[in-house]
Amino acid sequence: MGQINATTCQDCGHHFELRLGGGFIAQVVFCEDCGRGEAVFHGGKSLGERDDEPGWSGRCPRCHGRLSLRARARCPRCRSTRLDVDEEPTVLWD
Ligand SMILES: [Zn+2]
Ligand SMILES: [Zn+2]
């Protein structure tokens, strides 16, 4: 199950919605460059769980940066990683 949480950037105060987690067919992976979360469809298997597939990566559709399981969520405005994520998700998705 994935979710969307209201998030506030601690550095610039920007307010945005952050997609987190994964469902049965998709998992959110972050871009190393812009920090945007992208739902990646993996057809049922969890990404990056196996040791022989370290740091699964793809391409970010927005900036063509690298999507990585190790990348962290960033503020879309100033790219800060210091984010206040609301505990309560606003939307749940599968
Ligand atoms: Zn910011
Ligand atoms: Zn990107």
Q: Is the pLDDT of residue 7 over 90?
A: yes
Residue pair 19/28 in contact (Cβ under 8 Å)? The answer is yes
Two tokens, residue 38: 């992208």
Least confident of 7-11, 37-41, 64-68, 71-75: 37-41
Confidence at residue 45, expressed as pLDDT on a 0 to 100 scale: 65
Rounded average pLDDT over 6-22? 93
Which tens digit of pLDDT belongs to each residue from 58-79? 788 889 998 888 888 999 899 9
Give 50's DSSP letter: S
Q: Ligand 2 centroid vs 54 CA: distance in angstroms?
A: 20
Interval between CA 67 and ligand 2 midpoint (Å): 7
pLDDT of residue 82: 96
Ligand 2 centre and the CA of 62: distance in Å?
5
Cα separation values, 28 from 11, 47, 57, 86, Å: 24, 10, 12, 17
